[in-house]
Structure formats: structure tokens, C-alpha cells
Amino acid sequence: MAGEEIHFVPHAIQQPEHDTVLVVDFGAQYAQLIARRIREARVCSEIVPADVTPAEVLTKAPKAIIFSGGPASVHVPGAPLVDPALLDLGLPVLGICYGHQLLAQMLGGYVTESGGREYGRTKLEVGAGTSALFSGLPVQFDVWMSHQDSVTVLPEGFVALASTEGSLVASMADVTRALYSVQFHPEVVHTDRGQEILHRFLFDIADCRPNWTPISIVEEQISAVRAQVGEEGDVLCALSGGVDSAVAAALVHKAIGDRLTCVFVDHGLLRQGETEQVIETFSRNLEIDLVHVDARERFLDLLAGVSDPEKKRQIIGETFIRVFEEVALDYRGAQYLVQGTLYPDVIESGPRGAAKIKSHHNVGGLPESMDVELVEPLRMLFKDEVRRIGTELGLPDEIVWRQPFPGPGLAVRIPGEVTRDRIVMVRAADVIVREEIDKAGLEREVWQSFAVLAATRSVGVQGDGRSYGYPVIVRAVVSDDAMTADWARLSYDLLDKMSTRICNEVPGVNRVLYDITSKPPGTIEWE
Ligand code: XMP
């Protein structure tokens, strides 16, 4: 397609309400972070796969394109490439790391595989002469590098803007075509002036307007939901009790009111007070039509005698689907299903961003047999943005700030068989952990905190006699995204309070342990 004539003037397109920048994803762990930094600069960003076509780009009417970093070398067969015609659209481009090397290679420069590898903090020297990308910045500052290959020959029309000890061309530009690139990662916090560099690109080079906010997305999504679901037909939403589905439901309710019915399946494996909280918030406060299915007995009967963790998950997932299907029979006309899919889920669900349901992050997915279209009003947002919107929409803090909670609920915190007695024990211990974390003012600092009921028993002395009880394992972790986590350094005093209270207040428990394993090698949950 190279050289194909493009009959399109991006600015001729009707001005959208806010400006959008596309981030072409080359498989970088940083693509999300780049997108996020752009939003922090109050410009809307969307991640697109490397095989995005120029026509697809134009339908999104972006103000600029960013090529992300990526793990590949441009020299490796199969390394992700982009259609060179993307560079002929007249849009400003910023290449980052792999994107910088790809730009050099596509335009006739040279990327060498040897030497020049740099990892971590590196001193950047900005060259003499002003460039819009570095204007007003110091001539020397620290940037974050992570690369093996380096650009050694500039493409025609480009000049080098900055260098480091290992990279002669740590940044380059063809100013007339508004093509810029950097070898380092401006999106990471370790790059000192990273956000300013992104600002220079967005505002000075690409002429973006900083008018995007998560609130604009509420208004926009309300209109989008109305447009998607038309004038009639039922819309269903499966509420899990977690923040994502709650915010999605509240937003869709704002858009279409009574046409939304929320289905809340109580599988008996929720934390104490959560069922009441969901009913109180949705049916009473927000006056949303809520079908509360008390399926506790059904789930627990099916779980009787089952110890294998995967089998437990499978039973819970399948039963959830059956229950949901039964409710949906009453809403046969329902054509739409609301999902609280977030931005990171969209990215993880495949290069085309298809609305795939991650089984890990839902209660076993949703019925395949249901012929419904998904409504996903949060698919542009990160968790903290969703929380802000939740508050804006009037959801209480107890829901908006609820910790992530696994779909299969307490079943993944009860290794071995899930019995009614064991649920009572883990729930009671869990309340104590939560209360003490709250009292210590740590509820927002700690990513997740909970109790696990071990499957073995041990001898203890309680009161005047010998006890043979279960140990409770207290787990509290700090994390940004649950991909990795560290155990929270809770004070001995706090642990002591939890331990004393759990042994005193939870019958059947005679020992408390604190899990000091990070992830990896552990996981957050215990199964
Ligand atoms: P692990 O235990 O794998 O958990 O470190 C990572 C994060 O995912 C949550 N989790 C789940 N969430 N359905 C969910 O919706 C599940 O089946 C599930 N299993 C784990 C866990 O709480 C942590 O936040």
C-alpha cells in the first residue's frame, strides 16, 4: 500500500468533541501506560493493533499517532510492522523505543543490533538548537531506557534531537512531516521530564486540546448507550457486587432508565454485608430494577464434597450461567447485556479488542447461548477513572472503593471442601481483618486484605481445654494491578489485634498466620 494516494484531509472531518490520539500497540507492556499518560494530559487515547489500516485510522479522526515500544527487534522475521501509508496521512507521529527504531527502518535509516544496549536510568543530552519536543527542557536530564538495538543512521529528512552515551540517536525528527521519535520511555515515572515531553508532542506538535475528562466520557457514553440500544427492548446487567459492574449499571441506568434490569445472583460466597449493600444501593437508593436471586443453597449443595480448586471454580461458573439463563428467560426480548469491561480487559482480550469475556475475571463467563449484544460503557477507562465516575454517579464509597473480589468468591479462600460451617468461619474472620484494616486507615493503601481458612487443623489451648481448630491465614497485599503484589508490611500491633480477635471471636479457629509471600512466587488468592 506504500505510495498509494490518500484522498483524505484529516482536518476536513467534523471536529469531534474531544481530540483523540491513537497508540499503535507493538506488544509493549507500556502501551497501556502511554495511553494512560495521554489521558492524564486530558486527551483521549485509544490503543489500536499494529495491523490497523489507514482507513481504520481515519474513521477515528485522530490528531496524532504514537508508535509504542515492543519486545521485538526490527531485524527479527515476523517483527510487527505497520502499513507505511500511515505515515502519509499527514498526522503527527511519535515513535517510542521500538516505535523509534521502526520509524527509522521504515524511512530508510539504519538500526544496528550490536552495542548501545541501555537499561534503566540514563543521562540524556538534548542537542543544540530548539526542537518543539524538548523546548524549555534542560539540556541534560535522566530518562529510562530499555533497548538492545539502536538507530545509527538517520532516515533522510531527519535530524537527531538528543543522544545518550549508548545511543547517538536517542531522539530524532523530521519536523516538516511532524514525525518524531525517542529511544527512551517518556511514559514511565523514571524519565524525569517524560510527561512534559508528551505534552510538547500533544499540544505543541499535534495541536491537541486538553479537554477530555472521565466525566466527558460519562456524557459521551450515555449518548453512545442510547444510540446503541435504540428506543425499545430490555437490557440486562449481571451485577457481581464489584465496582465495575456496579458503575456500568449505574451509567446505563442513567441512559435508559427502567429498561435496565440488573440481575444479582447470590451464590452464598460473598463477604459479610455485601448482598445487603447491593440491594440497598441498587433497588432502594438508585431505584434500579433489581432481580435478586438467592441461589445460596443451590451453589452450596453442588459444592458439597468437592475439594479440587478447578472443579470448584467450574461448578460455580456453570451454576452461575444456569441461574442467569433462567432469569433471562423472563426477559426473552432482552437484546443487550451490560458488562463492566475495563480498558485493560479490552487490551488483554486480543489484538482487535474484541469483547471477549475473560473467564478468570468473571464468574465463569456468561451464557454462550444467549443471543445478546454487549454494552460496555467503561471500555475506555482504567479502574481509578471508573471509581471517580462511580462516585459521580452517586454510588456509595462501600461499593466504589470495594477491593477486587474474585468471582467465585470465598470459595477461593477456603482450600479444600466449601461447607456452610467453613464459610461462616472465613466470613467472620474476614470481617475482623477488614475492620482492623479500616480502623488503621489502610483500606485504600492495601490492594486486598482478607482471611483464608486453612484445610488442616492443629492442637491449641483455649480456655481450660485443648482445642483442635483451623488456622486462619491473614493475607494483605499492596499492588497496582494484581499482576504482581507484595505483602503489606502491617504493624505487629495491627497483626496482634487481628490475631487476638479472630481466635476469640471465631469459633473453630485457634491460630492465625500472616502470609509474607509476594506475587510471584505466590498468588494473591489461596486455592
Ligand atoms: P491471583 O490469586 O491470581 O489473583 O494472584 C489476581 C487477582 O484476580 C482476582 N481473582 C479473580 N477475580 N474471578 C475474578 O473476578 C476469579 O476467578 C479470580 N481469581 C482471582 C484476585 O482477587 C486478585 O485481585
Active site includes 185?
yes
C-alpha cell at 199: 505534552
CA 214 to chain centre: 15
Does the structure show a pLDDT above 50 at 145? yes
Counted residue by residue, the chain has a size of 527
Report how far residue 455's alpha carbon sits from residue 298's, in angstroms, rounded to the nearest whole number.
23
Query: What is the whole-number distance in angstroms between the Cα of residue 60 and the centre of ligand 1?
Result: 34
Q: Could you tell me the sign of the dihedral formed by the alpha carbons of 500, 502, 506, 512, in that order?
A: negative
Burial degree of 320 (CB within 10 A; 0-12, 13-18, 19+)? buried
Query: What is the whole-number distance in angstroms between the Cα of residue 330 and the centre of ligand 1?
Result: 31
Taken in order of first residue, the domains within the chain and their CATH numbers are: 20-205 (3.40.50.880), 214-400 (3.40.50.620), 419-514 (3.30.300.10)
Does the structure show a pLDDT above 60 at 15? no
CA–CA distances in Å: residue 291 to residues 206, 282, 284, 396, 482: 49, 10, 13, 20, 31
For a pocket test of ligand 1, which of 245, 315, 348, 361 has the largest count of ligand atoms closer than 8 A to its C-beta? Answer: 361
Measure the CA dihedral 70/73/77/83, to 10°.
Answer: 60
36 lines ligand 1 (CB under 6 A): no
The reported pLDDT for the residue numbered 367 is 62
The reported pLDDT for the residue numbered 16 is 53
338: helix, coil or strand?
Answer: strand
Q: List Cβ neighbours of 506 (8 Å cut-off, separation of 6 or more).
A: 425, 428, 429, 432, 472
Catalytic residue, from 44, 97, 262, 503: name it. Answer: 97
475 lines ligand 1 (CB under 6 A): no
411 lines ligand 1 (CB under 6 A): no
Report how far residue 504's alpha carbon sits from residue 349's, in angstroms, rounded to the nearest whole number.
46
Count of CB atoms within 10 A of residue 375's CB?
27
User: According to the 3-state scheme, what is the secondary structure of 53-81?
Assistant: CHHHHHHCCCCEEEECCCCCCCCCCCCCC
Helix (H) or strand (E) holding 309: helix 309-329
The reported pLDDT for the residue numbered 28 is 65
Give the lowest-confidence range in 145-154, 257-266, 321-330, 404-413.
321-330
Tell if the pTM clears 0.95, that is, is over it: no
Does the structure show a pLDDT above 80 at 306? yes
Query: What is the whole-number distance in angstroms between the Cα of residue 205 and the centre of ligand 1?
Result: 42
**Residue 515 carries which DSSP code?**
-
Report how far residue 410's alpha carbon sits from residue 397's, in angstroms, rounded to the nearest whole number.
22
Cross-strand partners of 465: 462
| Minimum-distance ligand 1 atom for the alpha carbon of 479 | 24
The reported pLDDT for the residue numbered 115 is 66
Active site includes 262?
no
Report how far residue 171's alpha carbon sits from residue 163's, in angstroms, rounded to the nearest whole number.
7
Rounded to an integer, the average pLDDT of 118-147 is 91
The reported pLDDT for the residue numbered 438 is 96
Does the structure show a pLDDT above 60 at 116? yes
Q: Which of 37-51, 147-161, 321-335, 368-382 has the highest mean pLDDT?
A: 147-161
| Minimum-distance ligand 1 atom for the alpha carbon of 412 | 19
408 lines ligand 1 (CB under 6 A): yes
Strand 465-478 versus strand 448-453 pairing type: antiparallel
Contact 306, 343 (CB under 8 A): no
519 lines ligand 1 (CB under 6 A): yes
Does the structure show a pLDDT above 90 at 526? yes
Does the structure show a pLDDT above 80 at 59? yes
Query: 358 falls in which pLDDT band (50, 70, 90)?
Result: very low
The reported pLDDT for the residue numbered 346 is 61
Rounded to an integer, the average pLDDT of 443-470 is 93
The reported pLDDT for the residue numbered 233 is 83
Give 248-268 pLDDT, tens digit per residue.
999 999 999 999 999 999 999
Nearest partner of 86 among 47, 44, 58, judged by Cα = 58
Q: List Cβ neighbours of 112 (8 Å cut-off, separation of 6 or more).
A: 149, 150, 151, 152
Query: What is the whole-number distance in angstroms between the Cα of residue 525 and the centre of ligand 1?
Result: 7
Catalytic residue, from 187, 196, 274, 385: name it. Answer: 187
Rounded to an integer, the average pLDDT of 344-368 is 46
Does the structure show a pLDDT above 80 at 461? yes
The reported pLDDT for the residue numbered 352 is 35
Q: List Cβ neighbours of 79 (8 Å cut-off, separation of 6 or more).
A: 72, 73
The reported pLDDT for the residue numbered 344 is 67
Report how far residue 209's alpha carbon sits from residue 63's, in angstroms, rounded to the nearest whole number.
10
Does the structure show a pLDDT above 60 at 353? no
Rounded to an integer, the average pLDDT of 3-8 is 34
Which residue has the least CA distance to atom 6 on ligand 1? Answer: 482
Region of 141 please: left (phi>0), alpha (psi -120 to 50) or beta: beta
For a pocket test of ligand 1, which of 360, 479, 517 has the largest count of ligand atoms closer than 8 A to its C-beta? Answer: 360
Rounded to an integer, the average pLDDT of 39-47 is 90
Does the structure show a pLDDT above 70 at 360? no
The reported pLDDT for the residue numbered 128 is 82
The reported pLDDT for the residue numbered 359 is 37
Question: Mean of the per-residue pLDDT values for the chain?
Answer: 88
Stronger pLDDT, 311 or 462, i.e. the higher one: 311
442 lines ligand 1 (CB under 6 A): no
Does the structure show a pLDDT above 50 at 14? no
Rounded to an integer, the average pLDDT of 213-241 is 87
The reported pLDDT for the residue numbered 253 is 96
407 lines ligand 1 (CB under 6 A): yes
Does the structure show a pLDDT above 80 at 362? no
Give 377-418 pLDDT, tens digit per residue.
998 787 888 998 999 898 999 899 999 999 899 999 999 999
